[in-house]
A and B are shown apart, each in its own frame.
Chain A
């Protein structure tokens, strides 16, 4: 009965809606025309012009950050030039960031940019015209003060701060109108060497990070618009790692890149999977070659990768580099254990697949992830058990508990995966908790395969979780997309005692997954230790990881001298393995000391993530970083000009430089949109009232005129 009453009442509501929708545009146009006629007649043109410009300024000023609507280009622009020198296993790179101020106001630029996750940043130079100013390393707080002071005094200054091991901020103060300031930084790094292939990565884009947690009152009132997110309890520096995303015409931040490669062996192939390159060989026998980007208008929207391999059978099995700094001897050792065939009898295993279906995965990434997951499902054998977990804002498990890999269950899983779509947040914690919950008490190998772009801001919290809950599980991360968070990928795999695979394109899903399957099937090299025949040795990482098939051991050491012999011990399938390397065979390597210090800092930060005393670790990191001139979480590089350039009284505009959305990603899927939450009622009321008022005025004036004669 109740239902009946309502349905009688409501058709009228709905009819009215339709009639209104038809009539409304007409009435609105008519009323606007009427108002315009009256306004023009009464007030003339000046008032109208004034109105337009005022509206314009209001619209600009009311934006929280310049999001580039309507073809507006930023006054301050940035371009990058990268020169990378590769010598054997050691990488030395120069990154020149050129800031150009096309505006009429003095500017401060704040630019957030990615670097390789293990980069040791040790030099900063600021170039103003012909002059060069060297940067100095200082404790982060002191460097910041130094910079702020220079900024206030009108001096040019540059400050490099580390936000994450793979994410840095460059602040440049007092760029004059129509001036260009160049900031050059240098870093050192060790190459990735895997399955007989060397791999160099230079990240060029930042996938917008998901920020979990609740904003505090303080962070909301303090919000300074440098990032698109507000600091929260779980990501206290959210505003610093979320640079504004460019939404205007085309792409910004052009980049030029040159790699000078001295491989030390004849190159069988050199591949750049994501960028077209030009290659000029200088000495083919020694593998000396120069590589540049073929496209002169490349922009920073997807990571650059270069891989090369020696001719078959020529792959290096061991390498040792040495550097003497003062009285200290530093060494970098690479040892590749011999391959071992997979055992005849394959142990049954439990595999948990976790797939990220958040908004940043939308577009090409989710397709790569789904294809990789389907391939992995095919590899399961009878006797294995499996489960699939997908997550975005919420976590969804295909089964409550792992199921046998029977054709029926596998079929269900394939259909489940096919139906997955990307959208929403990246609440990774519940998904990891679900994946690491050890369901069975048996001894089956338990492998968690985690497909994600790692675009989260709460990395440390997640590493802690992996460390605490890992148990007998092993975590294998697969980085998806054109700009995954490499720091999260590698560290999560390290804490998960697994490996990291990177898939950047749909075409490489099959080959990369094959590489991973080979690792999963082959026996581990474990219980690794190193000694120098009794001589004291400070080596990092302190706890040597287990090695999967095709992975080398890379250790940085301080202590042993010429004449001594390093011995590496390990175990595989209960059989001992040993390698001996004499220090007299070492090759001199520039910057080995810096690499050692960078690895020591990484090791200290890991201890902190595992729960070691914060203050103690902080002091240790500062000591190492200051001694080796390194940027770290607690130390920054700062360069300050001697004489002030900005006149007293000239205003300084702070500008957060926008970054490109990575290639293949969709803005709307990442940021979503809050709903429209205003009705047209106030506007209607205002216009209606104005029209009625006009009607009154027309009646009043015309009737008086009619009476006059």
Chain B
């Protein structure tokens, strides 16, 4: 009886700690990686070449995303597959669509309102200024209009924001339109 109790206690405590630890690891990775990516970004701006944040990475920083009103400053990675998104927001190739996790980098998306300003810096240097025009909740299988248009910035994250279980079918989409007078 005593032994069974100890075993159950050990199993419960062990599994609980493991799960909490993994959650912490996900958050830590998301934060720590941005520091490494920041260095790679600086180097790629100096050299004007792709710089990988660590030697075996399959992605590299392509832009810097700043939301002045919400104190957001993020480095955007190339590609939006799962291995990129673990470390930072990812931009789909050939588009101006940036995705990130709702519970890490793009948690702030729910606080964006039409009219808010978003700044995006390309590797070549210039800053582009966008203004939020619309937000929408869509099914993940919808094709987003304008995803290929450089004058429209599209930010995507999972919806609802506070869902516990990952892998749901809905996405929250923020559309932002470029404002004339490109550089700041």
Chain B positions 13 through 40: 1 when the CB is less than 8 Å from some CB of chain A, otherwise 0: 1011111111101110110000010010
Q: Which of B13, B43, B53, B175 contacts A695 (CB 8 A)?
A: B13
Asked whether A425 lies within 8 Å of B175 as measured between CB atoms, the reply is no
A689, B19: Cα distance in complex, Å: 8
Q: Which of A6, A16, A687, A698 contacts B19 (CB 8 A)?
A: A687
CB under 8 Å from chain B, chain A span 186-236: 210-217, 219-220, 223, 228-230, 232, 235
**B148: A residues at CB distance < 8 A:** 392-394, 424-425, 427
Distance to closest chain B CB from A683 (angstroms): 5
Asked whether B23 lies within 8 Å of A6 as measured between CB atoms, the reply is no
Q: Does B181 contact A (CB under 8 A)?
A: no
A16, B29: Cα distance in complex, Å: 11
Chain A positions 26 through 54: 1 when the CB is less than 8 Å from some CB of chain B, otherwise 0: 01101100100000000000000000000
Which of A272-280, A301-309, A592-600, A668-676 interfaces with chain B?
Answer: A668-676
Asked whether A229 lies within 8 Å of B15 as measured between CB atoms, the reply is no
A684, B24: Cα distance in complex, Å: 9
Q: Does B72 contact A (CB under 8 A)?
A: no
Asked whether A674 lies within 8 Å of B23 as measured between CB atoms, the reply is no
Q: Does B76 contact A (CB under 8 A)?
A: no
Using CB atoms, name the residue of chain A closest to B28.
A13
Chain A positions 1 through 32: 1 when the CB is less than 8 Å from some CB of chain B, otherwise 0: 01100110110011010001001100110110
Asked whether A671 lies within 8 Å of B100 as measured between CB atoms, the reply is no
Q: Which of A220, A427, A683 contacts B135 (CB 8 A)?
A: A220
Distance to closest chain B CB from A166 (angstroms): 22
Distance to closest chain A CB from B183 (angstroms): 22
Q: Does A148 contact B (CB under 8 A)?
A: no
**B36: A residues at CB distance < 8 A:** 6
Which of B59-67, B118-126, B162-170 interfaces with chain A?
Answer: B162-170
Distance to closest chain A CB from B107 (angstroms): 11
Distance to closest chain A CB from B33 (angstroms): 9
Asked whether B166 lies within 8 Å of A64 as measured between CB atoms, the reply is no
In this complex, how many residues of chain A approach chain B with their Cβ under 8 Å: the count is 75
A683, B101: Cα distance in complex, Å: 14
A680, B16: Cα distance in complex, Å: 14
Asked whether B101 lies within 8 Å of A23 as measured between CB atoms, the reply is no
CB under 8 Å from chain B, chain A span 680-695: 680-692, 694-695
Asked whether A683 lies within 8 Å of B165 as measured between CB atoms, the reply is yes
Q: Does A679 contact B (CB under 8 A)?
A: yes
Asked whether B23 lies within 8 Å of A684 as measured between CB atoms, the reply is yes
Using CB atoms, name the residue of chain B closest to A212.
B145
**B86: A residues at CB distance < 8 A:** 679
Q: Does A702 contact B (CB under 8 A)?
A: yes
A114, B69: Cα distance in complex, Å: 48
> Given A6-B53, A679-B104, A680-B166 in contact, is the A671-B142 Cβ separation under 8 Å?
yes
A689, B13: Cα distance in complex, Å: 10
A640, B26: Cα distance in complex, Å: 60
Asked whether A228 lies within 8 Å of B139 as measured between CB atoms, the reply is yes
> Given A214-B146, A685-B19 in contact, is the A699-B102 Cβ separation under 8 Å?
no
Distance to closest chain A CB from B97 (angstroms): 8
**A20: B residues at CB distance < 8 A:** 22, 25
**B45: A residues at CB distance < 8 A:** none
Q: Does B140 contact A (CB under 8 A)?
A: yes
Asked whether B15 lies within 8 Å of A27 as measured between CB atoms, the reply is yes
Asked whether A215 lies within 8 Å of B22 as measured between CB atoms, the reply is no
**A212: B residues at CB distance < 8 A:** 145-146, 149
Asked whether A677 lies within 8 Å of B94 as measured between CB atoms, the reply is no
Q: Does A67 contact B (CB under 8 A)?
A: yes
From A24, A216, A672, A691, residue with most partner B Cβ within 10 Å: A691
Q: Does B54 contact A (CB under 8 A)?
A: yes
A353, B168: Cα distance in complex, Å: 42
Q: Which of B82, B134, B158, B164 contacts A683 (CB 8 A)?
A: B164
Q: Which of A427, A674, A702 contacts B5 (CB 8 A)?
A: A702
Q: Which of A30, A393, A675 contacts B85 (CB 8 A)?
A: A675
Asked whether B170 lies within 8 Å of A62 as measured between CB atoms, the reply is yes
Asked whether A67 lies within 8 Å of B101 as measured between CB atoms, the reply is no
A674, B104: Cα distance in complex, Å: 17
Q: Does A504 contact B (CB under 8 A)?
A: no
Chain B positions 144 through 156: 1 when the CB is less than 8 Å from some CB of chain A, otherwise 0: 1111110010001
Distance to closest chain A CB from B157 (angstroms): 5
Distance to closest chain B CB from A421 (angstroms): 13
Using CB atoms, name the residue of chain B closest to A358.
B143
> Given A34-B11, A228-B139, A679-B101 in contact, is the A686-B164 Cβ separation under 8 Å?
yes
Q: Which of A2, A30, A681 contacts B23 (CB 8 A)?
A: A681
Q: Does A552 contact B (CB under 8 A)?
A: no
Chain B positions 79 through 123: 1 when the CB is less than 8 Å from some CB of chain A, otherwise 0: 011100110001010110001111110100000001000000000
Q: Does B12 contact A (CB under 8 A)?
A: yes
Q: Which of A217, A673, A677 contacts B134 (CB 8 A)?
A: A217
Distance to closest chain B CB from A23 (angstroms): 7
Q: Which of B23, B54, B135, B175 contacts A214 (CB 8 A)?
A: B175
A394, B46: Cα distance in complex, Å: 29
> Given A13-B29, A695-B12, A698-B8 in contact, is the A688-B17 Cβ separation under 8 Å?
yes
Distance to closest chain B CB from A642 (angstroms): 41
**A394: B residues at CB distance < 8 A:** 94, 148
Q: Does B129 contact A (CB under 8 A)?
A: no
**B184: A residues at CB distance < 8 A:** none
Distance to closest chain B CB from A699 (angstroms): 6
**A213: B residues at CB distance < 8 A:** 145-146
Using CB atoms, name the residue of chain A closest to B171.
A674
A220, B39: Cα distance in complex, Å: 39
From A229, A359, A682, residue with most partner B Cβ within 10 Å: A682
Asked whether A698 lies within 8 Å of B145 as measured between CB atoms, the reply is no
A694, B10: Cα distance in complex, Å: 11
From B141, B145, B165, residue with most partner A Cβ within 10 Å: B145
A427, B95: Cα distance in complex, Å: 12
**B145: A residues at CB distance < 8 A:** 210-215, 229-230, 232, 235, 238, 425
Using CB atoms, name the residue of chain B closest to A29.
B15
Q: Does A419 contact B (CB under 8 A)?
A: no
**A235: B residues at CB distance < 8 A:** 145
Q: Does A663 contact B (CB under 8 A)?
A: no
Asked whether B19 lies within 8 Å of A672 as measured between CB atoms, the reply is no
Asked whether A685 lies within 8 Å of B23 as measured between CB atoms, the reply is yes
Asked whether A683 lies within 8 Å of B114 as measured between CB atoms, the reply is no
A39, B29: Cα distance in complex, Å: 33
Q: Does A678 contact B (CB under 8 A)?
A: yes
> Given A27-B18, A683-B165, A695-B13 in contact, is the A677-B106 Cβ separation under 8 Å?
yes
Distance to closest chain B CB from A329 (angstroms): 49
> Given A6-B36, A214-B146, A214-B175 in contact, is the A678-B101 Cβ separation under 8 Å?
yes
**A688: B residues at CB distance < 8 A:** 15-23
**A27: B residues at CB distance < 8 A:** 15, 18-19
Distance to closest chain B CB from A245 (angstroms): 9
**B135: A residues at CB distance < 8 A:** 220
A407, B128: Cα distance in complex, Å: 45
Distance to closest chain B CB from A69 (angstroms): 8
Asked whether A689 lies within 8 Å of B143 as measured between CB atoms, the reply is no
Between A and B, 29 residue pairs with Cβ closer than 8 Å are: A6-B54, A7-B54, A14-B56, A31-B19, A34-B15, A62-B169, A211-B143, A214-B133, A214-B146, A215-B136, A217-B134, A220-B134, A223-B136, A359-B143, A393-B147, A670-B143, A674-B142, A675-B90, A677-B106, A677-B158, A678-B101, A678-B102, A678-B158, A684-B22, A688-B20, A688-B22, A691-B12, A691-B16, A695-B9
Starting from the known contacts A215-B145, A692-B12, A694-B12, 15 additional A-B residue pairs (CB-CB under 8 Å) come to A13-B29, A14-B56, A24-B22, A34-B12, A62-B168, A393-B147, A425-B145, A674-B156, A675-B81, A675-B156, A677-B99, A681-B26, A682-B23, A682-B164, A684-B23
CB-CB nearest 10 A-B residue pairs = A393-B148, A688-B19, A691-B16, A688-B20, A695-B12, A692-B16, A678-B166, A684-B23, A678-B158, A681-B23
